[in-house]
Structure 1
Amino acid sequence: MHTLFRKLHVSAFAASLLASSTGCVVNADDPEGSDMDEPVDEIASELDYAPPAGWRLDWSDEFNGSSLNTGNWTTLNSNWDPVTNNCNFGTGELEYPRAQNVSVSGGKLILSAQRTGDAPRDPNCAGYPARSFYSGRIHSKGKVERRYGKLIASIKVPSGFGMWPAFWTLGANVSSVGWPASGEIDILEWKSTEPTWMKSATHWHNGGDAHWGTGASGGYNLADSFHLYEVEWTANSMIFRLDGSIVANNAYSHNESEFQQNHYILLNLAVGGNWYGDPSPASIDLPSGVTKTMEVEWVRWYQPDGGSAPALTNPSFESGLTGWTTWSPNGTANAALSETYNGAQSGAYHLTHWTNGTPFEAWTYQAVSGLSSGTYRVRAWVRKGGAFNFARLQAKTCGSCAPTMTELGTYGNWTQVETGPINVTGGYLELGLHSNSPANGANFIHMDSVQIIKL
């Protein structure tokens, strides 16, 4: 939800966002997603969330009670934003926010949109047409501002052409430096023309407006039911998730100053605007007398608690293959395996499975013991090219157990992938890269920065 003269630069990438035994892979080379209208699984309201190990709740608003907590939020009451000093939010939106369209009841924040004939307009926006809709918009500027962490909300967005719900942040210095020099993190944006897609983006200034965008189709319509929308933001990366699964084709890796400072939260239900191609008010699917709502069950901001998730030995292969074992059913592993210098996702080294003209099969894995009972995922960064009979990131709870796996696609750039969830009850897990190549071309897989995550 870009604050000033938005240019939407979103590259949409498909991902399977419901966990399954085949796992979740974010494929940079599959730009199209399923547009199925029906959910493949019912996702109920009153969604709850428990963070992985290593996170503590730093702040939240559960929207209990009967009124908005003004210690957390400010309600906008105009189509002129005094924080950013612009009209219609720089995006040509058609709504006029007001307090009457912001309410709290039933344990939810409710932002309402309605068509109006009142023709409201702020005097600061005299050069702009009157607004055609009322709606709700709140922000936490000067009240709740944080840097880094895991920011997540349970939100239900409304269906219908012209509905533009958003959950996002702006740098706390936006009033003094302007947009996009303040930085912006769009966690959720949705539009009716791509109903199965969660869109996310970042915006900053680098000699000019700079943009990075991502998204994914969950294969089910996101409108009219609650879903979890999340960003995990560190000093050098961001990962966006829908319903707990990775959305981005890879983490947004950054070192911009805009993302090294406090940000504040915004929640709003926009109507029309340039994301829809600046439609006329008459074309908006919001008849007179009808109210559409964006509902938020809670917003939570977590920070690292100083603890650690289960650690792997030598996860980035900086110490050769210490901690890793390679098995081959036919003695071909030596034709497949190396620790490779330069071009790593992090550090100087990474693991490579590759062919030098000889067919091979290799399973490079690490065995972890002493895990507490629970559900885990394995996550890694990979690059891959050429033909393979199979190539998998996988995990299993014993040597002869069936693995939970993610089939790897072709990735020209480093791409983060993860397995589906795997339940550990005996404290033991084997995890790693399993590949089989017919050796009919320049075939390679690089793997780096392996993690085990407790859910």
Structure 2
Amino acid sequence: MKRATRAGLVAAGFLATVSGCSPEPEGPSEAPVEAEAYGQAKQGERAYDPGGGWNLSWQDDFTGTSLNTGAWTVLTSNWDPVTNNCNFGTGELEFPRAQNVTVGNGKLVITAERTADNPTDSRCGGQFRSFYSGRLHTKGKVEGRYGKIVASIKIPPGYGMWPAFWTLGSNIQSAGWPGAGEIDILEWHSNEPTWMKSALHWYNGGQADWGTGASRGVDLSQDFHTYEVEWNANSIVFRLDKDFVSTATFGHNETEFQQPHYLILNLAMGGNWYGHPSPNSIDLPWGARKTMEVEWVRWYQPGGSQSLGLTNAGFEQGLTGWTTWSPNGTGGAAISETYNGGHSGSYHLTHWTSGAPYEAWTYQTKSGLAAGTYKLRAWVRKGGAFNFARFQVKTCGSCAAAVNNLGTYGGYTLVETPAVTVPANGYLEFGLHSSTPTNNGSSFIHMDDVELVRL
């Protein structure tokens, strides 16, 4: 959700906060053929076909009456704890809160409303907000690299509405913005209501931006539409309702777009994309509500085995994204370190102590998985004596694990667990579980570059 100065590649001064929005598209190069007349059926009532060669890796269809918190985190302040800024660096006028993010009737609903409460976070220096709204993300829960990311969304009309569906690089807390990279799949501006605006932002000696978009020729706020990005190691292309392709394709090799990203959905108001309008000018009357409705979000990967990006898979950010459990308080035996080097990068996970015996279970979880067969892979070095050393994956916290009992490996060796079957909207818990006997100073396990794969 950033604002650049023009379409195409722009190198601007470095910004310490998240700021700006999508550049203006240059206009369609060729009118696509409309597959189905607008208004004949709502987008969500048509089956979405990703095309040949794509397999569903993750989805949320927003069934039931509550949000899947195993996949999503809801923001509850105008201070963003992930990017460490107020009003999201764009001067938006809303204060996100949990009660404005609801699930029901098969939809996620983000509701915006005007307020006289003047809410703000104490860290934002009296920057009082004029609206309540919602913002949620999948950081640390659903992250991945490449594929086709698509959602069915109905956006609200009116001046000042700024609905968005986008991604940030998973290393945002260490790399900052725009160094982590950003993919804006959907942004909408009331001045051009027929356009899906899309953009990319990264760092190239300063802020670099690229913008595009697609127009349906009708006001997008009047119905559900699918908004998607197809992202691979060489190119990124955006589509509206599948048949309406963005005005340009981005050919790339930037490192920001060769790493895992996480998803964000939000409904903003005002801010720098609208030229910082006053709250009174926003088209949201007192007592009224406007909603951004989401029927589903899906992440597809190319056919064959599909790698699902994990948080901090190479342990380059310490143990961020990983949890260590111990039955006897010896979980400190699990650390991220550089000793003896990593398989890639500088760091790796180590299970080791020079003193008393330990037992440690270092793991990560994923929720909302597509039905299918999965296995876990990683690169491992191991030596010495252990009571047990298990590389494992399981479908619930108390379930029996599918285990690879690790042997001795003098150099980094690729290991994998047996396959496990996961139902729709399934859950997996996976990682390294080990225990050593007394006098274990020469016993060690190094693990790096963990990968969860759907077969």
Q: TM-score range, shorter-chain basis?
A: 0.5 to 0.7
What's the offset of the Cα at 1:191? 1.2
1:83-120 Cα deviation digits (max 9, x unpaired): 00011011110000000100000000000000000000
Percent identity at matched positions? 62
Which residue pairs with 1:46 in the alignment? 44
2:31 pairs with one of 16, 25, 35: 16
1:50 Cα deviation (Å)? 1.5
CA–CA separation in structure 1 for the residues paired with 2:103 and 2:38: 31
Q: Contact 1:43–1:226 (CA<8 Å) still a contact in 2? A: no
1:221 corresponds to which of 219, 222, 226: 219
Contact map agreement 1:162 1:285 (CA 8 A) in 2: yes
Secondary structure of the residue aligned to 1:306 is coil
Q: Report if aligned partners of 2:22, 2:184 keep a CA contact under 8 Å in 1.
A: no
Q: Indicate conservation of the 8 Å contact 1:170/1:183, yes or no.
A: yes
- The residue aligned with 1:367 is none
Aligned twin of 2:186: 188
**Equivalent position amino acid for 2:172 in 1:** V
The one-letter code matched in structure 1 to 2:44 is E
- Distance in 2 between the 1:158 and 1:130 partners? 23
Given that 1:17 and 1:243 are in contact with CA atoms closer than 8 Å, whether structure 2 keeps it comes out as no
Q: Choose the corresponding residue for 1:249, options 241, 247, 256.
A: 247
AA paired with 2:26?
Answer: A
Report the Cα offset of residue 224 of structure 1. Answer: 2.9
C-alpha change, 1:20 and 1:96, in structure 2 (3 Å) is closer
For 1:281 and 1:265, how far apart are their aligned partners in 2?
28
2:210 aligns with one of 204, 212, 232: 212
The answer on whether the counterparts of 2:235 and 2:250 sit within 8 Å (CA) in structure 1 is: yes
Conserved? CA contact 1:154–1:297, under 8 Å: yes
Letter aligned with residue 89 of structure 2: G
Tell me which residue corresponds to 2:65: 66
Supply the AA of the counterpart residue of 1:279. Answer: P
Which residue does the alignment assign to 1:124?
123
- The alpha carbon displacement at 1:163 in A equals 0.6
Return 65-74 or 215-224, whichever deviates more. Answer: 215-224
1:275 shift after superposition: 0.8
CA–CA distance in structure 2, aligned partners of residues 9 and 219 of structure 1 = 19
TM-score by length of 2: 0.62
CA distance in 2, matches of 1:293, 1:141: 23
Structure 1 residue 217: Cα displacement:
1.8
Measured in 2, the distance between the counterparts of 1:142 and 1:18 equals 39
Map 1:315-354 onto structure 2 (within 5 A).
Answer: none
Counterpart amino acid of residue 120 in structure 2 = R
Q: Secondary structure at the match of 1:295?
A: strand
Matches within 5 A, 1:86-105: 86-105=85-104
Aligned to 2:157: 159
Tell me the alpha carbon deviations over residues 12-33 of structure 1, each in whole angstroms, 9 at most, x when there is no partner.
3225355269xxxxxxxxxxxx
Q: Which residue of 1 aligns with 2:177?
A: 179
Match of 2:129, SS state, is coil
C-alpha distance in 2, partners of 1:103/1:7? Answer: 26
Preserved CA contact (<8 Å) 1:108 1:295: yes
Do residues 141 (structure 1) and 139 (structure 2) align?
A: yes
User: 1:4 offset after TM fit, Å?
Assistant: 1.0
Residue 305 of structure 1: how far off its partner (Å)? 1.1
Secondary structure class of the residue paired with 1:67: coil
Q: Specify every segment of 5 or more residues in structure 2 that has no aligned partner in the other structure, as ranges.
A: 3-16, 306-455
- AA in 2 matched with 1:108: K
CA-CA distance at 1:193 after TM superposition? 1.0
Q: Report the Cα offset of residue 41 of structure 1.
A: 4.5
- Tell me how far 1:245 sits from its aligned partner: 2.0
1:112 and 1:281, CA in 2 relative to 1: closer, same or farther beyond 3 A? same
CA RMSD in angstroms, aligned pairs only: 1.7
Q: Which runs of 5+ in 1 are unaligned?
A: 22-38, 308-455
Q: Distance in 1 between matches of 2:43 and 2:230?
A: 23
> Taking structure 1 as reference, are residues 290 and 7 closer, same or farther at Cα in structure 2, changes over 3 Å only?
closer
The separation in 1 between residues aligned to 2:35 and 2:98, in whole angstroms, is 43
Structure 2 distance, partners of 1:247, 1:124, is: 42
Distance change >3 Å, CA 18–CA 64, structure 1 → 2: farther
Deviation, 1:5, is 2.2
Distance in 1 of aligned mates of 2:248 and 2:41: 26
Counterpart Cα distance in 2 of 1:194 and 1:293: 19
Cα distance, 1:277 vs. partner? 1.1
2: distance between equivalents of 1:198 and 1:233? 17
CA distance, structure 2, for counterparts of residue 59 and residue 40 of structure 1: 28
Q: Is the CA contact 1:152–1:230 (under 8 Å) kept in the aligned structure 2?
A: yes
Offset, 1:306: 2.8
- Offset at 1:43? 4.3
Structure 1 residues 225 and 124: alpha-carbon distance in aligned structure 2, compared to 1, 3 A threshold: same
Is the Cα–Cα contact under 8 Å of residues 12 and 199 in structure 1 kept in the other structure?
no
Shift of 1:262: 0.3
* CA distance in 2 between partners of 1:258 and 1:117 (Å): 40
SS of the equivalent of 2:123 reads: helix
Bigger RCO of structures 1 and 2 (CA < 8 A, at least 6 apart): 1
Aligned length: 289
For the residues of structure 1 that align with 2:38 and 2:262, how far apart are their CA atoms? Answer: 34
Q: Aligned residue for 1:265?
A: 263
C-alpha separation in 1, matches of 2:40 and 2:238: 22
Query: Which of residues 292, 295, 305 is equivalent to 1:294?
Result: 292
* Structure 1 equivalent of residue 283 of structure 2: 285
TM-score, length basis structure 1: 0.62
Change (3 A) 1:224 1:174: same
